[in-house]
Chain A
Amino acid sequence: MATVELTFSALPAHVRTARLVATAIARRTGVAEAILDEVRLAVGEACSRAVEAHRLHCPSEPVRIELRDDAGRFEVTVSDAAPSEEPKPYVLETDGAFEPDEMADLGVAVIAGLADDVEVVPGPKGMRIRMSWPASANGLAAI
């Protein structure tokens, strides 16, 4: 099991860096090229949510990401230190007359739509979002 850990200051500019790092390690771990865009978007969503939560509650605390190659899965865990509650379900009316107000929870809805294995654990000391995708057993994807 190989693990990369990354912490970054809760600044929007660093979210792109986190996306790029996660995508590079996903490719190295053997995630298929066809789903690298999903990894990039899901990790970006989790990091954006964490950065916004830190800016509200604890701007000096860093956001933490763990990227793990675990038995044929590429697993990413994004942890923040801002108190959080269970995300409100995102529901969109189908008549087009309603547009969502709570865009904060939209990020979690997007992650759920992208990763085939997602766990969102809110808590008073922060939220942890763990997500994973299939990777090649040998670690490096065929190019």
Chain B
Amino acid sequence: MDLKLDHHSEDSLTIVDVEGEIDVYTAPRLRELLIDLVNKGNFHLLVNMEKVDFLDSTGLGVLVGGLKRVRAHDGSLELVCTQERILKIFRITGLTKVFGIYASVEEAKEAHGRDK
């Protein structure tokens, strides 16, 4: 399955919906989108990964790169993910300590609202 990307803004939060496989072939498209969003002043990103079928270390690298970019603007990049197969790679690499990972978009929005 290819990668589908969509995004929309809710208040100060930009929600990026990702569907499909994030690997060495498709990850550059996600990287371009995150860079474009940051360049346009979107510094609080929520990446919804509930429809991601596959994620490898290339995809992790893109997310880490996005996190660095938003942090340079005192922003945030957090994730929505409940799939064990995807969460496992975050645990193996210790990146669960780096990213805020939420069970739903609503939960992430509530947390973002509290942090503002």
Contact = CB atoms under 8 A, between A and B. Distances in A.
A123 interface: no
Contact of A103 (B23, B61, B67): B61
Interface string B84-95: 010001001111
A69 interface: no
Contacts of B103: none
Interface stretch (B5-13, B41-49, B51-59, B108-116): B51-59
A90 interface: yes
Interface residues of A, number: 26
Contacts of B97: 92, 94, 96
Contact of B24 (A40, A52, A96, A100): A52
Contacts of A52: 24
Q: Is the interface of B mostly helix, strand, loop or mixed?
A: helix
Contact of B60 (A37, A94, A103, A114): A103
Interface in A45-87: 45, 48, 51-52
Interface string B68-111: 10000000000000000100010011110110000000000000
Contacts of B68: 99
A120 interface: no
A92 to B, nearest CB: 4
Contacts of A114: 92
Interface of B: 21, 23-25, 54, 56-58, 60-61, 64, 67-68, 85, 89, 92-95, 97-98
Interface of A: 12-13, 15-16, 19, 37, 40-41, 44-45, 48, 51-52, 90, 92, 94, 96, 99-100, 103, 106-107, 109-110, 113-114
